[in-house]
Amino acid sequence: MDMAPRKLAAGNWKMNGSLAALAEIDSLLGGDEPDCEVLICPPATLIHPMVARIAGGWIAVGGQDCHARDSGAHTGDVSAPQLVDVGADYVIVGHSERRTDHAEDDASVAAKAVAAHEAGLTSVICVGETEAQRDGDQTLKVIARQLAGSVPDCATADNTVIAYEPVWAIGTGRTPTTEQIAEVHAAMRQALVTRFGDGDAFRLLYGGSVKPGNAAEIFAIPHVDGALVGGASLMAADFGPIISALNAAD
């Protein structure tokens, strides 16, 4: 790939939002179409209505998780082909809340990513250290282990996005220093280049308390190709300026 990867502003609505929240989509679409790519991953109940509301506009829609199997007796789960069926293009896998709440390990995350790729989805694979791991100087080791175990061999820059989300920065209003983010992103880039022929083209997102007020500073960090945004993606008044900041970044 001779072009820089297209930057990605991704919103993760988590377990928030009802049909009324789709008005936020109207607000975003009312602005100018950015050069960067924009993705929203709403709860499963809103994927189809959101796709219908966007009606071919410039926002892509994704799931927040998928099962490793295509169908079967797995009450409460959603499969990758089912996400495709209702118009999703992406799926988040391995979010720290899934790893914690549902005891997902690296192998199950990798299996979900394989299922996503086979269905034609782009996976957003999440990694990140806990506060105790950072305090114990284990961050780079943990990230390397999670990347090795969670990113499957079939990953390419076209079907996979990596999101670095320090667990202690999610929903806390705390963010790593720019030096800390730069260190992890450079290490992730190096690991991907070592393992994959197109490792330099994978998009690397930062996630964890990204807000309109800190977005520009984060997007200026080398190897940060966008953000995975939780709370600040729920309202167009917050997510819109984050998209603009990414669009304005070099």
Q: Is 228 in the site for ligand 13P (CB under 6 A)?
A: yes
What are the Cα distances from residue 153, in Å, to 22, 150, 157? 36, 10, 12
131 catalytic, yes or no?
Answer: no
| Cβ-based nearer residue to ligand 13P, 69 or 211 | 211
**Binding residue (CB under 6 A) for ligand 13P from 63, 226, 230, 240:** 230
Q: Which ranges of 36-105 would DSSP assign to H, the alpha helix?
A: 44-54, 80-85, 96-101
**Binding residue (CB under 6 A) for ligand 13P from 120, 136, 171, 222:** 171
What are the Cα distances from residue 1, in Å, to 121, 197, 199, 219? 20, 10, 10, 22
Q: Is 176 in the site for ligand 13P (CB under 6 A)?
A: no
**Separation between Cα atoms, residue 119 and residue 113, nearest integer Å:** 10
- DSSP helix/strand/coil, 92: strand
Question: Which range touches ligand 13P (CB under 6 A), out of 136-144, 145-153, 224-232, 237-245?
Answer: 224-232
Minimum CB distance to ligand 13P, residue 234 (Å): 9
**Exactly one of 37, 97, 104, 165 is catalytic; which is it?**
165
| Cβ-based nearer residue to ligand 13P, 152 or 208 | 208
Residue 64's closest CA among 121, 20, 21? 121
Q: Is 5 in the site for ligand 13P (CB under 6 A)?
A: no
Which helix (H) or strand (E) segment holds residue 189: the answer is helix 178-195
**Binding residue (CB under 6 A) for ligand 13P from 165, 224, 242, 245:** 165
Q: How is residue 55 annotated by DSSP?
A: T
- DSSP helix/strand/coil, 207: strand
95 catalytic, yes or no?
Answer: yes
**Separation between Cα atoms, residue 38 and residue 130, nearest integer Å:** 28
**Binding residue (CB under 6 A) for ligand 13P from 63, 94, 176, 207:** 207
Which helix (H) or strand (E) segment holds residue 164: the answer is strand 160-164
Q: Is 12 in the site for ligand 13P (CB under 6 A)?
A: yes
Of residues 67-106, which lie at the interface with ligand 13P (CB under 6 A)?
95
Which residues participate in catalysis according to the annotation?
95, 165
Residues contributing to the site for ligand 13P (CB under 6 A)? 12, 95, 165, 170-171, 207-210, 228-232
